[in-house]
Amino acid sequence: MRVNGKAPSKASGPPAAPRALPANLAALGEFVRGRRRQIVPDTLGIESSGRRRTPGLRREEVAALAGISTPWYTRIELGTAGVPSRATLAAVAHALRLSQAELRYLFELAGASLTILDAPLERRSAALEYAVLNLANAAAVALDRYATPRCWNAIADGIFKWSTYGDEFQRNVIVAGLTQPRFETFMGQDYEDAVRAVIGTFRRAYTTSEPTQLADRIFEFGMGHPKFRAVWNGATVAEYYTPPGPFVRNVPEVGEVRVDFVDLIAARHDGLHVRVISPLDADSLEKFRHLESLGTPSGFQDS
C-alpha cells in the first residue's frame, strides 16, 4: 500500500468503522493454518524441493507473501496476536489466495464485517453491462472504487460526456470534476460538497488497498491540484459521493432538470457500483430523452 511511494500513516484516514462482531481469534488461527497447509507451493512459484515436514506453505513463506514478519504471522495462527488490523487481514488473505467467501469469513472471525465494496473480483457479468446499457428513461453509469466510469448508457453520456474523453484517467470523476467546468455547472451549489465527498471515497479506497497504476496517477494529479490537496490534507473520508436527493441540476444542453439518484452495489464485481439518476417530473423526462439522443453508450472499459 503506497502513497507517493510510501506507506501511509494511520493518521492518513482510516475507513469508516466496520460493524462490531465477536472476535474468535482461536478459530481465525485454525482457519489460516488450515488454508496454509492446503496451498501447493509450486502454484505460487515457490520451489518445493527439499524435505517439508508439513504439507503446504511454511509460515515464513506466508509471512513473506503477506509482507509481515514471521513471528507476527505465527502469533496470528496461534491466536495470541490480538485482533489483526484490516490491512493485515487483507494481506494474509491475499497471501493465502482466499476466495470471496473465505475472505469475508476471515474478517468475521476477526470481529469485523467486510462490505461487498471490499470484496474481490470474481467475474464481470454480462448481465450487469446489459442492465446499465438498457435502463430506460434514466442515466446509469458503473463506477469503480476509484470513481472511474467503466460502463454507461446514452443518457449518462448525454449528461457527463464520458465518451468525449480520451482515456480512463481523463474520465475519472475526480480528474474530470476538477478540470471540466461542465461538472461544476451540473452540481451547482453542491459542487464543493461533492468534491469533498468523491475525494473522501477515493481516499478510503486508496489507503486501504494496494493502489492500481490508475489510482496512483489520479493521486499524483490530485496532489498537484490545490482543491484536492486541501481536502486530502484535511483527512476527509466518505462513503458516498452525494447526500440524499432530490436535486435540481443543470445540464448545458437542456438547462435545469429535477432528479434523484440511487447507488446499486454490484456483488462480486471488485468495488463496482451503479449510479442511477432518474428524472422527477415530465419536463425533466423529456430533457432526459433529448440527452439520450446526444449521448454515446459504452460497454465496460478495461483497465
How high is the pLDDT of residue 110?
86
Range of the domain at 229: 126-294
Q: Say how many domains are in the chain.
A: 2
Q: In DSSP terms, which residues pair with 265 in a beta bridge?
A: 273
In a domain, 239, yes or no: yes
Secondary structure of residue 249 in the 3-state scheme: strand
Give the C-alpha separation, 257 to 149, whole Å: 22
130 shares its domain with 273:
yes
The segments of the chain whose pLDDT lies below 50 read: 1-21, 116-123
Domain boundary among 114, 143, 163: 114
How high is the pLDDT of residue 2?
40
In a domain, 177, yes or no: yes
How high is the pLDDT of residue 39?
87
Give the C-alpha separation, 250 to 255, whole Å: 5
152 shares its domain with 89:
no
**DSSP character for 269?**
S
How high is the pLDDT of residue 15?
37
Contacts for 93-98: CB closer than 8 Å, 24+ residues apart: 94/65, 94/66, 95/62, 95/63, 95/65, 95/66, 96/32, 96/35, 96/36, 96/39, 96/62, 97/39, 97/44, 98/35
Give the C-alpha separation, 247 to 139, whole Å: 14
Domain harbouring 137, CATH code: 3.30.450.180
How high is the pLDDT of residue 16?
38
Kindly tell me the sign of the dihedral angle through the C-alpha atoms of 286, 288, 291, 292: negative
Which tens digit of pLDDT belongs to each residue from 175-233? 999 999 999 999 999 999 999 999 988 987 887 667 889 999 999 999 999 999 999 88
